[in-house]
Amino acid sequence: MANKFHPVSFVLSFFFFFFMIHSSNAAYNVISYGAKPDGKTDATQAFLRVWAAACSSATASTIYVPKGRYLIKAIEFRGPCKSRIRVQIDGTIVAPLDYRALGNSGYWILFIQVNGVSVFGGSLDAKGAGFWACRRAGQNCPVGARSITFNWANNVLISGLTSINSQLTHLVINSCNNVQVRNVRLIAPDLSPNTDGIHVQGSTGVTIIGSTLQTGDDCISIGPGTRNLHISRIKCGPGHGVSIGSLGRQLNEDGVQNITLTDSVFTGSDNGVRIKTWARPSTGFVRNVLFQNIIMRNVENPIIIDQNYCPNNIGCPHQSSGVKISEVTYKNIQGTSATPEGVTFECSPSNPCKGIKLQDIKLTYMNKAATSSCKNIDGTSTGLLIPESCF
């Protein structure tokens, strides 16, 4: 396969990189820069001052957020910085109760153009309930804020972070290289709109390990231009599953390739592993994808490719997707479906799915074999298959 990804060597490189981070010799405590841990006093400027000090440090540094609650409005941590920065959070960072206070930037906490930043521990509470209520009521609401975003960042580690009640997506990784997400917990009610757990797009070499994702939208969504993404040992649900897409909204769009999801459990989610594309012309593609060693527990649509996505049937002149899907393997996926149809392949009539592989699938519905359906697909199947292959 082209551009084969080797997650072991990638992880080893991270161990070396973050061993170096632990040699930090400059420490900056947010309280020393004026932050008060009372959850009421605006600490935004104090956090910006401590970032400016750490970012200008000639040696690797640590920003320390002690126990307590720190009120932060929309904030931007901009690089490039002179040295590596470790952010150690022992407290909780909270957003204002008035959801309008985060403005219309689309971000709450934004790291931009940073290299060698690591974030350890801590909690984020975006207090998103007011924003969700505004949207449900159809009022004139702000655009909404993603809780923590990394734009154009390289060599980043996010470990042990908890995020609750984001207005929109909890964690966004956009146009980044070499990012590792470990043991995070991203939590929002199952009916909270657009509260995706992690969204990755335009990024290469992202690894997501050992995380719990309980959301109102996709546990993980994978957007255009994502390459060499390795996901393992996640717990997903409630939520909309792990989705590649939606893709193909634009005519000229970067493809998605070398995606691996292994050793994970889905519980009560609206989808399991999903590939979703718009039913319109596009230069996009999905190739070299592996879904392996996955347990489904009462999951709707455990395995699904949907190339007919077209909200409100607007802008899809031929109801046919230009996104080319190929070399997707489903291996050792077992458990229970909440819908009679456990395997659904609705591929594009103009660009059929190619090289789809099914191996050792066992999905039941109400203690009986689930069903499968296929359209416009070519592939192979081996091993035990419940339901039987439809191609």
- For strand 353-365 and strand 368-369, is the pairing parallel, antiparallel, or unpaired? antiparallel
Asked if 95 contacts 119 with a C-beta cutoff of 8 angstroms, the reply is no
| DSSP label at residue 194 | T
Cα gap 372→93, rounded to integer Å: 46
Cα gap 237→263, rounded to integer Å: 15
Q: Name, in order, each residue with C-beta under 8 angstroms of 124's C-beta and a sequence gap of 6 or more.
A: 92, 93, 94, 108, 109, 147, 148, 161, 162, 163, 164, 166, 170
* Side-chain-side CA neighbours of residue 335 (13 Å): 24
Selected catalytic residue, list 6, 170, 240, 318: 240
| DSSP label at residue 183 | S
Q: For residue 388, give the 3-state DSSP assignment.
A: coil
Cα gap 252→266, rounded to integer Å: 33
Residue 22 is a catalytic residue: no
Cα gap 321→245, rounded to integer Å: 13
Residue 160 phi/psi, 5-degree rounding, is: 75, 15
Which active-site residues does the annotation give?
A: 240
